[in-house]
Chain A
Amino acid sequence: MNTRKKIRVLAAKPGLDGHDRGVKVVASALMDAGMEVVYTGLRQTPTQIVESAIQEDVDVIAMSILSGAHDYLFPKVMELLKEKGVEDMLVLGGGIIPDEDIPGLKNSGIAEIFGPGTTTEQIIDYIRDNV
């Protein structure tokens, strides 16, 4: 039986992108699935995201970006996490991210990338299996 505490997730919008439909839908679904979700709101710098994640003591960071700035912002978050000695957080990315970019992002430490057409159930299952 699962007696663990609730999974805590930081839903984050790095960069200047204002498209928050996806992140809000995912956040709502994770809450409905019984997780605790903290949403950062728009325009977060990598530093702010890492600070919030540590402060909120989350198990998962779920970042969404649709502006194409993922190739800079996602690895930057991973770099800052490492600097802070955080190694046990599951970091996920979503949004409009070309397949060609995924290997590089995974190399930087992002566990999984979820693109357009992903169901909320797939994300919930992935988090449950990997936290």
Chain B
Amino acid sequence: MSEEKGREELLGAFKKWADGVEQKLSKRPERKEEFVNTSGIPVNRAYTPLDRTDDNYLPEIGLPGEYPYTRGVQPTMYRGRYWTMRQYAGFASAEESNKRYRFLLDQGQTGLSVAFDLPTQIGYDSDDEMAIGEVGKVGVAIDSLKDIETLFHKIPLDKVSTSMTINSPAAVLLAMYIAMAEKQGVQAEKLRGTIQNDILKEYSSRGTYIFPPKPSMRIITDIFSYCTKKVPMWNTISISGYHIREAGSTAVQEVAFTLANGIAYVEAALKAGLDVDTFGPRLSFFFNSHLDFLEEIAKYRAARRLWAKIMKERFSAKNPKSMMIRFHTQTAGCTLTLQQPKNNIVRVAFQAMSAVLGGTQSLHTNSMDEALCLPSEEAVQIALRTQQLIAYETGVTDTVDPLAGSYYLEALTREIFERAEEYINKIDDMGGAVPAIEQGYIQREIQDSAYKYQLDIEKEERIVVGLNRFQVEEEKPTNLLRVDPAVREAQIKRLKELKSERDNEKVNKSLSDLKQVAQGEDNLMPYILDAVKAYASLGEICNVLREVFGEYQQVSTLGR
């Protein structure tokens, strides 16, 4: 039988089946009039080979480890090596966080992920007035190289890779990491890890910006250029959809806005004279793993295909590594409920599974108590065990991209790809991600989706188990992990001691050199490294840059 004839026969059978189902609907209606996923994509009753485009198999889907990487960036994926299990952690002081890292490594975690407190993320020392109430709260407080030395005490940097969630002051924290490793006897060229360094999503979604876009993009391209030569195994940026999604975007918007930011970074680096195939392979990405299991898997696959196409066709990359999206995934914090928190263990397990089926390179699983506070040791252990269960017990890791070929999943992958590409075209028309953010377009799109999501919950069009259905009376949780306010006092004391012990002349010289370079065009990194090594504080370094670059003012996007 010819393929054509087979298809015709199927089409006939499908029509007959669909008519039959329609007729019975009056008696036995479906749960909803319309099934639509979070991205607004209609979901059909059933998918068949009629939804398939096998004629486009190679260009659209291809083989694992081959362009366009829809099926994964490596040919063997988890048959070769599991993803890196990397729990985001850090709170209070460097000593306290160092203890948590060593606990996690003892429990079989394979990489570190550092959470900094907000003053550190926004370039304030712990003794700054802006830092009152925030020191050590959402992450560890770092004021100088001294704190970084404590943070990584007895952690073998040649064996462990470290991811640091730091954006505006990423250059400073990277410099501290390099300086500290040097003291441990580990050369910069051996260091493996990631700095988030993704300022654009800070403007649109996460809020820890310092400088305006132009100098911020310069810092980023300076880092690209420096690392290419000196820290070649370092991921110089983690272009993040995670926070865009947490701020309320849909899955399609997450892909579109993340890759649009990616395009802006590549353009900035090209403009700075870098070659796409030198920095391209070191770009990494970070996605969210949300509730809709299959939509999420399709999202990762679509993102891989779309980035590969962008790098190859728009930027003429030649190195396959430039075309591969390597990404970290974190389960969606915004889906955790305060109500019946143990249900969160199950939510996280499903979300982690979709990240694995979507081919993630590393994964953070949220702890059940994170809707309320920083995770307890027990809760973190369960979260890590969830990943280990998926890796070692479920069998999904034994074949590459096991859901490929599902009629639904492939149709959804294509749909997300096309819709995200449409958004990117629209952003291109605005002049790219930076103008789109400056005009408030991306922020508005995200906040509209967030508002719709909330109203859907309130109208019970979206059911959240334990929140708007299946509720129970519960005891209020007690004994939460809390950060002692004394952390701030201790940080301030240490900073004072540091300032009295260090060679202040050397510090001042390094800071005035940095200021001069900031006013010119040379690469900032070597000067930041000198300042860090002289034990200039994070706040001192960022204040010099504030003086030269100014500060970003948020655009207002509320009101219509």
Interface residues of A (CB under 8 A from B): 11, 15-21, 24-25, 27-29, 31, 37, 39, 41-43, 45, 67-69, 71-73, 96, 98-100, 115-117, 119-121
What is the CA–CA distance of A39 and B485 in the complex, to the nearest angstrom? 29
Instruction: Flag if B246 contacts A21 (CB, 8 Å).
Output: yes
A114 → B minimal CB distance (Å): 12
Instruction: Flag if B371 contacts A15 (CB, 8 Å).
Output: no
B372 within 8 A of A: yes
A91 → B minimal CB distance (Å): 17
Q: Name the one of A21, A42, A115, A119 contacting B450, with C-beta atoms under 8 angstroms.
A: A21
Instruction: Flag if A37 contacts B130 (CB, 8 Å).
Output: no
Instruction: Flag if B467 contacts A117 (CB, 8 Å).
Output: yes
B204 → A minimal CB distance (Å): 11
A-B contacts, 9 of them at CB < 8 A, read: A16-B131, A21-B247, A25-B248, A25-B447, A41-B554, A67-B118, A99-B477, A117-B339, A120-B455
Closest Cβ neighbor of A41 among chain B residues: B554
Residue-wise, chain B 54-96 has the 8 Å CB interface mask toward A (1 for contact) of 0000000000000000000000000000000000000000000
Interface of chain B, main secondary structure: loop
Closest Cβ neighbor of B337 among chain A residues: A117
Q: Name the one of B121, B133, B455 contacting A72, with C-beta atoms under 8 angstroms.
A: B133
A89 → B minimal CB distance (Å): 20
Known: A25-B454, A116-B371, A121-B458. A17 touches B477 (CB 8 A): no
What is the CA–CA distance of A25 and B202 in the complex, to the nearest angstrom? 19
Instruction: Flag if A28 contacts B451 (CB, 8 Å).
Output: yes
Instruction: Flag if A39 contacts B558 (CB, 8 Å).
Output: yes
A58 → B minimal CB distance (Å): 15
Apart from A28-B447, A68-B137, A100-B480, what 11 extra A-B contacts exist at CB < 8 Å?
A: A15-B118, A18-B118, A18-B207, A20-B247, A25-B447, A37-B559, A69-B118, A96-B372, A98-B482, A115-B338, A121-B458
B23 within 8 A of A: no
Instruction: Flag if A98 contacts B554 (CB, 8 Å).
Output: no
Instruction: Flag if B373 contacts A21 (CB, 8 Å).
Output: no
Residues of A within 8 A of B131 (CB): 16
A27 → B minimal CB distance (Å): 6
Residues of B within 8 A of A11 (CB): 558
Known: A16-B130, A96-B372, A119-B458. A24 touches B337 (CB 8 A): no
B454 → A minimal CB distance (Å): 5
Instruction: Flag if A31 contacts B119 (CB, 8 Å).
Output: no
Residues of A within 8 A of B476 (CB): 99
Instruction: Flag if A18 contacts B202 (CB, 8 Å).
Output: yes
What is the CA–CA distance of A68 and B373 in the complex, to the nearest angstrom? 8
What is the CA–CA distance of A71 and B488 in the complex, to the nearest angstrom? 14
Closest Cβ neighbor of A26 among chain B residues: B454
B208 within 8 A of A: yes
Residues of B within 8 A of A16 (CB): 118-119, 121-122, 124, 130-131, 134, 208
Instruction: Give the interface centre of A16, A42, A73, A117 by most chain B CB atoms within 10 Å.
Output: A16
Instruction: Flag if A120 contacts B454 (CB, 8 Å).
Output: yes
What is the CA–CA distance of A21 and B207 in the complex, to the nearest angstrom? 11
What is the CA–CA distance of A96 and B373 in the complex, to the nearest angstrom? 8
What is the CA–CA distance of A68 and B139 in the complex, to the nearest angstrom? 11
A39 → B minimal CB distance (Å): 5
Q: Name the one of A15, A27, A31 contacting B134, with C-beta atoms under 8 angstroms.
A: A15
Closest 4 CB pairs of A and B: A18-B207, A72-B133, A69-B133, A16-B118
B39 → A minimal CB distance (Å): 18
Closest Cβ neighbor of B479 among chain A residues: A100
B206 within 8 A of A: yes
Residues of B within 8 A of A41 (CB): 554, 556
Residues of B within 8 A of A17 (CB): 118, 134, 138, 207
B449 → A minimal CB distance (Å): 10
Closest Cβ neighbor of B464 among chain A residues: A117
B13 within 8 A of A: no
Residue-wise, chain B 478-494 has the 8 Å CB interface mask toward A (1 for contact) of 10101101000000000
B138 → A minimal CB distance (Å): 5
Instruction: Flag if A28 contacts B558 (CB, 8 Å).
Output: yes
Residues of B within 8 A of A72 (CB): 132-133
Known: A99-B477, A100-B478. A67 touches B134 (CB 8 A): yes
Instruction: Flag if A67 contacts B137 (CB, 8 Å).
Output: yes
Instruction: Flag if A68 contacts B138 (CB, 8 Å).
Output: yes
Within 8 A of A (CB), among B306-335: 334
What is the CA–CA distance of A99 and B559 in the complex, to the nearest angstrom? 32
What is the CA–CA distance of A45 and B131 in the complex, to the nearest angstrom? 10
Closest Cβ neighbor of B551 among chain A residues: A43
Residues of A within 8 A of B451 (CB): 24-25, 28-29
Instruction: Flag if A96 contacts B454 (CB, 8 Å).
Output: no
What is the CA–CA distance of A117 and B338 in the complex, to the nearest angstrom? 7
